[in-house]
Amino acid sequence: MAEADRRAELADNLARVRARIGAATAAAGRDDEPQLIVVTKFHPASDVRLLAGLGVTDVGENRDQEASAKTAELEGLPLTWHFIGQLQTNKAKSVVRYADAVHSVDRRALVSALGKAVASAERERDLACLVQVNLDPEAASGRGGVLPSEVLALAGLIADTPGLTMSGVMAVAPRGGDPAEAFARLASASARVTERFPGATMVSAGMSQDLEQAVAAGATHLRIGTDVLGARRTVR
């Protein structure tokens, strides 16, 4: 597709998503509109550049290899990079070179790896860390986040690690369930966290399919991929 056509398509999609966010914010009686993070995984750096030109300030990526290539190519653009995917400890060193925030902190070993990586990296700012909460009612802890009962312990470890800022909680609504009910549980996890860590106000929730429910439940950050960029080559 020609660049001008792609630009027009992205502008159109963005306008639609922003209108949905505006409507959901009003419907929820909120006056603080959540931050849109456009999830650009599987889409080329050229798309990210177009998005930046269209006023997008925050982007999300879920694989280190792809993200580090894109951020290198796009150095200098005024973008905040959010890492939102499962993260192996041996990738921590790479991620702290370009990420402003990691939404997917889900175990103690990852907190120490990120802490060590930040200590040896040349960063101007702390790394914002969010605890990923597993909202699957059948969940065992591990993949896809910690159980709600384990959030405070991991939050405390983040808060005690120099170079990391305990910034909030993140979740993906379980497949097949009611997202409103799941996001309500995330909101109560967030309430427990902010009671202990008053600055940790980020609530990262809501994707293309369930952004309205996330806004209603108090999300501060929405992670939208498909409805801005179109379908990805590979479904993950």
Options 20-28, 68-76, 145-153, 218-226: segment touching ligand PLP (CB under 6 A) = 218-226
> How big is the chain, counted in residues?
236
Nearer to ligand PLP, 142 or 160 (CB): 142
Does residue 62 bind ligand PLP (CB under 6 A)? yes
| Residue 48 binds ligand PLP, judged by CB under 6 A | no
Q: Does 207 bind ligand PLP (CB under 6 A)?
A: yes
- Rounded to a whole number of angstroms, the distance between the first and last alpha carbons of the chain is 24
The reply to whether 223 sits near ligand PLP by the rule CB under 6 A is yes
| Long-range contacts from 111-115, C-beta under 8 angstroms, 24+ separation | 111/154, 111/157, 111/158, 111/161, 111/164, 112/161, 113/89, 114/161, 114/164, 115/161, 115/162, 115/163, 115/164
Compute the least distance from the CB of residue 198 to ligand PLP, in Å.
26
Which range binds ligand PLP by CB under 6 A, 64-72, 114-122, 188-196, 205-213? 205-213
**Which CB atom, from 99 or from 159, has the smaller least distance to ligand PLP?**
99
Which residues face 132 on adjacent strands? 170
CB nearer to ligand PLP: pick between 14 and 159: 14
Does residue 226 bind ligand PLP (CB under 6 A)?
yes
Shortest distance in whole angstroms from residue 48 CB to ligand PLP: 15
**Closest separation between CB of residue 174 and ligand PLP, Å?**
13
Pick from 84, 157, 215, 217: which binds ligand PLP (CB under 6 A)? 84
* Of residues 132-191, those binding ligand PLP (CB under 6 A): 172
CB pairs under 8 A, 24+ apart, for 133-139?
Answer: 133/169, 133/170, 133/171, 133/185, 133/186, 133/189, 134/171, 135/171, 135/172, 135/173, 135/174, 135/177, 135/182, 135/183, 135/185, 135/186, 136/174, 136/177, 137/174, 137/177
Interface with ligand PLP (CB under 6 A): 39, 41, 62, 84-85, 172, 207-209, 223-227
